[in-house]
Amino acid sequence: MSEKRNNQESLFSPGSSYWGDVWLQFKKHKGALLGAIIFFGIVISVMLGPLLWPFEPNAIDIRSRNQGPSLLHPFGTDQLGRDTFSRMIAGGRTSITVGLAAMFLALILGTLIGVIAGYFKKLDGILMRFTDLFLSLPLLPLLLLMMFLFREPLSVSYGPEKGMFILIVFAIGVTSWMPTARIVRGDVLALKQREFVMAARSIGTPDQKIILRHILPNILSPILVSATLGIANAIITESALSFLGLGFPPDFPTWGRLLNDAVDYLQLHPERVMWPGLAISLTVLSINFLGDGLRDALDPRIRGR
């Protein structure tokens, strides 16, 4: 009862802003808060890790190969004596960067298609058929196909790492915009009937301005939620591609690649699959909890309670 009153007070207290209320609601979801802390912790440690950790991810030290965890090498070393911890940091950097970049691309595509389909009635039918078509495509086979076909030409023109980065981000982006487009379309359809949009139109505001000023700010919350889920999806897809050997080049560590390398030593060193596997799972799990909490916090119907 007292908690409810506190919430009420905070809602109507003089200093409360929209984002302040969202934050208050978000804080109440313990899983989401923990997820946010873990996710940002992982992001900060993979970004700052190379500055602090003494070992290079690709430095070969054949004398100390196949070691178990020790103080010097907390995650052990691999078959060439490379420090697994530094490879994990380097891998996380790639995986998370790919996840963020692919999410942005998918978000832009999804929002664009969703807004156009929801706002312009003439294009709605065609665009939604198009979305349905994409939803019934066999995505992993198509992604593998794209990797296989465009890998070499892109590595030639942009260098092996940069070319692969562009290809993976593009491939994941163009195959994962559909859920965002569907959600955005639904919200735009509902918004279009609201009085403030009709008022804006009646005073002769051009469509472009209505979309930018009135529609987009109001669909920010579903976009944010699908952004978090998009990062998780992109990280899993990138790891799946690297796991199947069609991602980044072998000497370039990503979490999926490290997992793939570790599977070859499954019988001898079963602990090696744990590090990259746990890293992927923990990141995705924390993002999913973050998204769950964000969805509750951004939904005014839930926030008021």
Partner 1 sequence: MFDYTVRRLLIAVPTLIVISLVIFLVLSLAPNDPMAQVPLTVPPEVKEKMREALGLGQPLYVQFWKWLVQFFWIEPQVLIDHYFGTNYSEDKLRVISWQTRAPVMDTVVQRLPQTLWVVGMSYVVAIAISIPIGIYSAYKQYSIFDQAGTFITMVGYSIPPFFTGPLVIVIFAVYLDWFPSTYDTLHEVNSWDSFIIQLKQMFLPVMVLAIQGTAQISRYMRSAILDNLNQDYVRTARAKGLSESIVILVHVLRNSMIPVITVIALNLPLIFGGAIITEQVFKVNGIGQQLILAIYANDLPTIQTLTFIFAFLIVFMNLVADVLYALLDPRIRYE
Between residues 24 and 144, which has the closer beta carbon with respect to partner 1? 144
| Site membership for partner 1, residue 11 (CB under 8 A) | no
Q: Which of 24, 33, 109, 144 binds partner 1 (CB under 8 A)?
A: 144
Residue 44 binding partner 1, by CB under 8 A: no
- Tell me the window of 79-87, 107-115, 116-124, 238-246 that interacts with partner 1 (CB under 8 A): 238-246
Q: What minimum distance in Å lies between the beta carbon of 19 and partner 1? A: 26
**260 close to 242: Cβ distance less than 8 angstroms:** yes
Asked if 152 interacts with partner 1 (CB under 8 A), we say yes
Q: How many CA atoms lie within 13 A of 134 on its CB side?
A: 21
Residue 240 contacts partner 1 per CB under 8 A: yes
Q: How far is the CB of 277 from partner 1 (least distance, A)?
A: 4
119 vs 248 by CB, closer to partner 1:
248
Instruction: Tell me which residue of 222, 228, 216, 195 sits closest to 115, measured CA to CA.
Output: 216
Site for partner 1 in 241-280 (CB under 8 A): 243-244, 246, 256, 259, 262-263, 266-267, 270, 273, 276-278, 280
Minimum gap (Å) between residue 288 Cβ and partner 1:
5
- The residues facing 114 across adjacent strands are none
Q: Tell me how far, at minimum, the Cβ of 263 lies from partner 1, in Å.
A: 5
Residue 225 phi, psi (nearest 5):
-65, -45
The binder of partner 1 chosen from 14, 138, 204, 217 (CB under 8 A)? 138
96 binds partner 1 (CB under 8 A): no
41 binds partner 1 (CB under 8 A): no
- Write down the least CB distance from residue 286 to partner 1, Å: 9
Binding to partner 1 in span 113-132, by CB under 8 A: 132
Sign of CA dihedral 76, 81, 86, 88: negative
What angle in degrees, to the nearest 10, is found between the helix axes of 121-135 and 178-192? 160
Nearer to partner 1, 191 or 242 (CB): 242
Which residues, numbered 163-182, are part of the site for partner 1 (CB under 8 A)? none
Q: Give the nearest distance from C-beta 143 to partner 1 in angstroms.
A: 9
Report how many residues bind partner 1 under the rule CB under 8 A.
44
Query: Counting contacts by CB under 8 A, is residue 150 touching partner 1?
Result: yes
- The pair of three-digit structure tokens given for residue 263, joined into one six-digit string: 């599977």
**288 lies in the site for partner 1, by CB under 8 A:** yes
Per CB under 8 A, 215 contacts partner 1: no
Positions that interact with partner 1 (CB under 8 A): 31, 132-133, 135-142, 144-146, 148-150, 152-153, 232, 236, 239-240, 243-244, 246, 256, 259, 262-263, 266-267, 270, 273, 276-278, 280-281, 284-285, 288-289, 292
